């Protein structure tokens, strides 16, 4: 951003200093001033940039958002998570493969029937490694979106979320307590759907 203009200045948000291109017009200067004031009045607040990302949030705030995504939106079965705390290049890894963010969302939404699946948070979302990572345990029943029947499997495990330098989540890693064959062996036949 600073390459576009010769001069740069920084705006403080709590402990984070963000480089910002020097504003050229009076309107840009006023907006920059308002941002600086907001940063001074609301220390620790991470304001979203033009891409809607919430960078440099405190780890506890990210953990709260992840908890809400898990408990209220069942994001492990629905892929309905808060995209503003994830980097666009975030990778999602489970015991089967690694997926880019858009593939994870599309695949999860196609593979599972959200209304028949259930994800439970076991304990809380913990901040670890000095805030560089978040970790939680889960137990879930997933209903596969197959034609006519929706067989269900159960599994449990640990999910670790790694944050990048800007505080956004850059890696999601599920580690299951069971092997893939053990998970598949839990498949329960579902009721045949009325056609």
**SS in 3 state form for 117-162?**
CEEEEEEEEEEEHHHCEEEEEEEEEEEECCCCCCCEEEEEEEEEEE
Q: How far apart are CA 179 and CA 86, in angstroms?
A: 28
Per-residue pLDDT of the chain (195 residues; tens, 9 = 90+): 333 323 333 333 333 434 444 445 544 444 444 343 334 334 444 555 578 999 999 999 999 999 999 999 999 999 999 999 999 999 999 999 999 999 999 999 999 999 999 999 999 999 999 999 999 999 999 999 999 899 999 999 999 999 999 999 999 999 999 999 999 999 987 654 444
Q: What percent of the chain has pLDDT over 70?
A: 72
Number of Cβ within 10 Å of residue 102's Cβ equals 9
The pLDDT tens digits of the residues spanning 108-121 come to 999 999 999 999 99
The pLDDT tens digits of the residues spanning 66-104 come to 999 999 999 999 999 999 999 999 999 999 999 999 999
Q: How far apart are CA 38 and CA 52, in angstroms?
A: 17
Q: What is the CATH number of domain 59-185?
A: 3.10.450.50
Cβ neighbours of residue 2 under 8 Å, at least 6 residues apart?
Answer: 8, 19, 21
Cβ neighbours of residue 103 under 8 Å, at least 6 residues apart?
Answer: none
Pairing of strands 118-128, 98-100: unpaired
Q: How far apart are CA 66 and CA 168, in angstroms?
A: 12
Taking the model in full, what pTM does it have?
0.73
Q: How far apart are CA 173 and CA 178, in angstroms?
A: 15
Q: How far apart are CA 18 and CA 191, in angstroms?
A: 55
Joined together, the tokens standing for residue 137 give: 């345990």
CA 167 from centre of chain: 11
């Amino acid at each position: 951003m600073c390459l576009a203009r010769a001069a740069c200045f920084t705006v403080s948000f709590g402990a984070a200093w963000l480089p910002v291109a020097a504003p050229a017009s009076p309107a840009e200067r006023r907006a920059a001033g308002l941002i600086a004031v907001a940063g001074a009045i609301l220390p620790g607040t991470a304001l979203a940039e033009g891409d809607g990302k919430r960078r440099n949030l405190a780890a506890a705030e990210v953990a709260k958002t992840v908890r809400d995504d898990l408990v209220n939106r069942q994001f492990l079965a629905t892929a309905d998570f808060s995209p503003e705390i994830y980097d666009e290049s975030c990778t999602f890894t489970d015991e089967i493969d690694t997926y880019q963010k858009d593939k994870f969302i599309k695949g999860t939404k196609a593979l599972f029937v959200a209304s028949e699946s259930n994800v439970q948070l076991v304990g809380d979302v913990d901040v670890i490694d000095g805030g560089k990572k978040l970790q939680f345990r889960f137990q879930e029943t997933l209903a596969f979106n197959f034609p006519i029947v929706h067989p269900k499997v159960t599994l449990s495990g640990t999910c670790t979320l790694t944050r990048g330098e800007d505080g956004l989540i850059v890696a999601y890693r599920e580690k299951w307590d069971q092997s893939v064959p053990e998970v598949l062996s839990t498949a329960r036949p579902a009721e045949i759907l009325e056609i």
